[in-house]
Amino acid sequence: MPEFRLYNSLTRQDEPFAPADGQTVRFYACGPTVYNPAHLGNFRTFLFEDLLRRVIRLRGWDIEQVMNLTDVDDKIIKRATEQGKTIREVTDPIVEIFHADREFLRVQRAEHYPRATDYIAEMITLVQRLEQKGVAYKADDNSVYFAIDKFPTYGTLSRLDTREIKSGARVSQDEYAKENAQDFALWKSAKAEDEACEAAWDSPWGRGRPGWHLECSAMAMAILGETIDLHAGGIDLMFPHHEDEIAQSEAATGKPFARCWCHGEFLLTDGTKMAKRVGNVATVADLRANKVSPAALRHFVFSTHYRKQLNLSGEALEASQEAVRRVGDFADRLERELAGTPELAQVAETLMVEATAALYDDLNAPRAMAALFDFISAANREFDRRGSDKGSLLRARDVFAQVNAVLDIIPERGLDDATLAAWVEEQLRLRADARGRRDFAAADEIRKAIEAKGIVIEDAAGATRWKVVR
């Protein structure tokens, strides 16, 4: 079996990777900030993490994955203030949309989706530990800050030159300009708007709320332990977020926070990073409206290595639509055929060897995808020869299933009835919850996700019925 290797952002090199205990990968992935539906730039990261999760399982390891849901931060409080709502009223429907979008794109469910507001006690305890270590202090604005000059290795992950840092300068906002390394807020003193939207809690330092960076460290260590195997996220989180996570975690414990760091590159539109503030945002709802299948988006994303920038275009999505149609046609033929040739088994073995070698080589999905399409061409030629070897057919089916279990690019008709029914029933439950609290926008998004799978729903006599129409 080939060695499993990942590019570690901390060391800037490919390294052999295995879980510390040899069996279970403890994996933390930074999740969405739930004030707006996640855009496709966010989902490129979530798809890279989904690929990573699936390859880990292909390798034979178990996985315990945490993906946090940031449900208190500056943006959420601003949105709640603008709308006259509590932060929970802002975030609950967005969490539901996130999960509906995640299911639509077939991003496997993590074992844990902790909400920051459920871990306030753990965050307060972490700040107290940092105070005891002498690396945190209460400032004149009644907020508690991390003193980065007390943590000598600050900047190692992002390769930041800390020689120019102005000692004692502080930054209170959650996100700040790259290279603006200053003492960052661990615990923020409550303002009137925080209290108004229920974003303030009692603490030893008075009423306040956690800083964004603090949240991930507290949740990761509470669920996975003080040293985790793997931490992943988008490249834009390397500084300041991940740098600050390392500082506050390792200063508190004296142990390495994560053994390996993986970062995915940006999704671009017209050469510009996709971002809400720029206005060039495409969402999963846009995909549905334009009838782009989840399989096509997965193919589009995995056709470029996760550490390379990817440019979104209609032409590229159309090409991916055509590619997954080819995969779907082959999957149908694979089920219809009754036997193959002896050479078909050899073709299948070649796919298994080449795909696993590619995927274990820092998740080289483009190379694995190329091997899959080579296999489809070769297998079709063997089927055309009308062989009688049933064993080779079974091997071809098995290998194809294993590779597709990682890439998951068969069109929707590849779902079995039980899987589809379970998914629809879960979406209907989420839709009913949204309608019950009169959040009709969220309910409508869930309905669109169901209809995008070729399913119609009918509300009648206090019940909802559904049927597949294509």
Instruction: Look up residue 64 and give its two tokens.
Output: 């315990």
Closest CA to 106 of 324, 319, 309: 324
- Determine the Cα–Cα distance for residues 42 and 461; give it in Å rounded to an integer: 39
pLDDT value at 58 more than 80: yes
Instruction: Look up residue 302 and give its two tokens.
Output: 């995995």
CB 141 within 8 A of CB 157: no
pLDDT value at 180 more than 70: no
Closest CA to 364 of 1, 29, 5: 5
How far CA 79 is from CA of 74, 194, 466, in Å, comes to: 9, 11, 35
Check residue 313 and give left, alpha or beta (phi > 0: left; psi -120 to 50: alpha). beta
pLDDT value at 394 more than 60: yes
pLDDT value at 308 more than 60: yes
Share of the chain above pLDDT 90, in %: 75
pLDDT of residue 437: 86
pLDDT value at 177 more than 60: no
Q: What is the mean pLDDT of residues 97-111?
A: 95
pLDDT value at 238 more than 80: yes
pLDDT value at 410 more than 60: yes
Confidence bin at 446 (pLDDT 50/70/90): confident
Better-scored residue on pLDDT, 184 or 419: 184
- Determine the Cα–Cα distance for residues 44 and 215; give it in Å rounded to an integer: 23
pLDDT of residue 438: 86
- Determine the Cα–Cα distance for residues 268 and 131; give it in Å rounded to an integer: 41
Q: Tokens 């993590």 label which residue? A: 110
Identify whether 240 is preceded by a cis peptide bond (ω within 30 of 0): yes
pLDDT of residue 414: 42
Helix (H) or strand (E) holding 146: strand 144-146
- Determine the Cα–Cα distance for residues 296 and 105; give it in Å rounded to an integer: 10
Instruction: Give the SS3 label for residue 260.
Output: strand
Closest CA to 229 of 20, 4, 60, 5: 20
Closest CA to 287 of 445, 467, 420, 443: 445
Instruction: Look up residue 192 and give its two tokens.
Output: 């009137």
Pairing outcome for strands 267-269 and 228-234: unpaired
Instruction: Report the amino acid identity of residue 399.
Output: V
pLDDT of residue 252: 98
29, β-bridge pairs: 67, 232
Confidence bin at 396 (pLDDT 50/70/90): very high
Q: Tokens 């949105």 label which residue? A: 79
Q: Is 94 exposed, middle or buried (0-12, 13-18, 19+ CB in 10 A)?
A: buried
pLDDT value at 178 more than 60: no
DSSP class of 310: E
pLDDT of residue 314: 86
Q: Which residues of 281-302 are buried (b: 16+ CB within 10 A; e: fewer)?
A: bbbbbebbeeebbbbbbbbbbb
- Around 345, how many Cα atoms within 13 Å sit in the side-chain half-sphere? 12
pLDDT value at 237 more than 70: yes
- Determine the Cα–Cα distance for residues 168 and 184; give it in Å rounded to an integer: 10
Better-scored residue on pLDDT, 414 or 270: 270
CB 70 within 8 A of CB 32: yes
Instruction: Look up residue 111 and give its two tokens.
Output: 């074992």
457, β-bridge pairs: 466
What residues contact 456, with CB distance under 8 A and at least 6 apart? 466, 467, 469
pLDDT of residue 432: 86
pLDDT of residue 436: 85
pLDDT value at 342 more than 90: yes
Per-residue DSSP letters for 52-70?
HHHHHHHTT-EEEEEE-BB
